[in-house]
Amino acid sequence: MNTSSIRSPCRCGCEDFPFASSATGTYVTHVTHLTHLTFPPRFCRSFILRLINTSLPWLLPALCAAGLTACSPSPPTPPPTIKVTVSQPQVATVTNWDEYPGHLDAVEMVEIRPRVAGYIDSIHFQDGTEVKAGDLLFVIDPRPYQADLDHAQAQRQQAETHLELARNDLKRAESLRGTKAISEEEYDSRSNAVREGEAALVAATANEATARINLDYTQIKAPISGKIGRRLVTAGNFVQLQGNGGSATVLATIVSVNPIYCYFDVEESAFLQYRSSAKVAEANSGGLACELALVNEEGFAHWGRLDFFDNQVNPQTGTIRLRAVFDNGDRALVPGMFANVRVLAGPPEETLVIPDVAVQSDQGYKFAYVANAENKVETRSIQIGRAHGPLRAVVNGLTPDDRVIVNGLMMLRPGAKVVVQSPEAKAQSEKAAAPADKPQAKTQP
């Protein structure tokens, strides 16, 4: 578009600002310090100001009304309806247990060590298998010890021959002594030779027994029944009676597997209670009952009894060590494992129980939310007892008629109005609110 700037008098008689002429019309672009406006031609600044002054009386109220309307706050949004689920406290007969961390230990544990030195000739077990007492485990080369036995047997036979000869000489000396054909000195010499031969025979017999024992020691057998570990020395290695640590070389270890012990520490007050209860239990059923659970087990599946109290309390911790014995027929318990053990704390008793999720805490104080007759939220201070699975015993603070809120706890506050719904209705509403499964799109070949 071709434009040209020219001067033209304004309609009010002044020549105030330029305008642009074009083929389609003539318009003047006027820029002031107030705003940027596009005006029709031949209208100067004074004309525009007169126009604003004449329009201000009716324009200002309209602008104020629009501003007040835009700044006025919106009406408050009503609070959302809080839907909760309630549960009434139930009277239940519960058994109280005290839980402690413990560790398992074998009833018997043996380190297999050689009793004679020599080279390992053969091994007669598989690593990690169960063995019985008397089973052959290792064989040390028996040839040197067989030679020692043969030598000892020869010495014993030699001693027997010498003794027999000495006895014959003494018998002849006794017959000659009666006729005074032998001196007393000769008789005493032959008598002492018999006693010397008897002593030599005893020594030779002992040496033979020692050689036989050493030969038997070349066959190393299991001293107890249990599970054997891996072989620590393989065939062909030399084992000795005095190793680097001053003891014989360890060949393997065996631990008993059934029954098994569990050791745990309890405080002094609990020990006094268990000791008195154990006396009554021993008179009735043989010991105070206890149960055990491994770290990957939900419940306490293993049953046993206390069988040992240590002889002193640790003065630094104020605890004493106890031991329980458990049956391990299924071999689920392994020595060295950590486990949770619980001990019967008293006879069964009746108490109020509520879901443990309903118990709230505020700086150490326990309370629960209760829906009153007007469906308004109230707080009740409670004193809780032991946990029994998903339930919690309540000593005081609630009655069987109270409606304890167990769901929707995050949005509650005292005095809030709630809508109480049954667990069945809650489950149906959650099912209806769940998004439906989207049908899978069929793939075209």
Q: Coil, helix or strand for 233?
A: coil
Residues of the chain within CATH 2.40.420.20 domain(s) are 349-423
Q: Find out whether 141 and 147 touch, Cβ atoms under 8 Å.
A: no
Element (H, E) at 170: helix 143-178
Residues of the chain within CATH 2.40.30.170 domain(s) are 258-344
pLDDT of residue 36: 45
Exposure letters 344-374 (e unless 16+ CB within 10 A, then b): bbeeeeebbbbbeebbbeeeeebbbbbbeee
Q: Report the CATH number of the 258-344 domain.
A: 2.40.30.170
Query: Is the link from the previous residue into 259 a cis peptide, with omega within 30 of 0?
Result: yes
Q: What are phi and psi of 77, to 5 degrees?
A: -80, 130
Q: Find out whether 185 and 177 touch, Cβ atoms under 8 Å.
A: no
What's the rounded Cα separation, in Å, for the pair 342 and 386? 13
Residues of the chain within CATH 2.40.50.100 domain(s) are 109-254
Q: Residues with Cβ < 8 Å from 355, sequence gap 6 or more?
A: 87, 390, 391, 392, 404, 406
Ordered per-residue pLDDT tens for the chain, 445 residues: 444 444 444 444 554 444 444 444 433 444 344 444 444 544 555 655 565 666 656 666 666 666 555 555 666 666 677 888 888 898 988 888 888 999 999 999 999 999 999 999 999 999 999 999 999 999 999 999 999 999 999 999 999 898 888 888 878 887 777 777 777 778 778 888 888 888 999 999 999 999 999 999 999 999 999 999 999 999 999 998 875 556 788 999 999 999 999 999 999 988 988 888 887 776 566 678 899 999 888 888 899 999 889 999 999 999 999 999 999 998 999 999 999 999 888 778 888 999 999 998 888 889 999 988 888 899 999 998 888 878 888 988 898 889 999 988 888 888 888 888 866 655 555 565 555 544 444 444 4
Tell me what the pLDDT averaged over the chain comes to. 80
In the numeric block, the tokens 């003539």 are attached to: 26
pLDDT of residue 23: 40
Task: Say if domain 109-254 classifies as CATH 2.40.50.100.
Answer: yes
What's the rounded Cα separation, in Å, for the pair 432 and 411? 22
Q: Residues with Cβ < 8 Å from 207, sequence gap 6 or more?
A: 152, 155, 156
In the numeric block, the tokens 């745990």 are attached to: 264
Q: Which fold has domain 349-423?
A: 2.40.420
In the numeric block, the tokens 């002593």 are attached to: 199
Give me the DSSP letters along 87-149.
Answer: E--EEEEE--EEEEEEEEEES-EEEE--SS-EEEEEE---TT-EE-TT-EEEEE--HHHHHHH
pLDDT of residue 263: 96
What is the end-to-end Cα distance of the chain in Å, rounded?
A: 60
Give me the DSSP letters along 399-411.
Answer: -TT--EEEE--TT
Q: Coil, helix or strand for 227?
A: strand
What's the rounded Cα separation, in Å, for the pair 28 and 7? 11
What's the rounded Cα separation, in Å, for the pair 274 and 309? 10
Q: How many CA atoms lie within 13 A of 329 on its CB side?
A: 5
- The tens digit of pLDDT for each residue in 117-170 reads 999 999 999 999 999 999 999 999 999 999 999 999 999 999 989 888 888 887
The secondary structure of residue 59, as a DSSP letter, is H
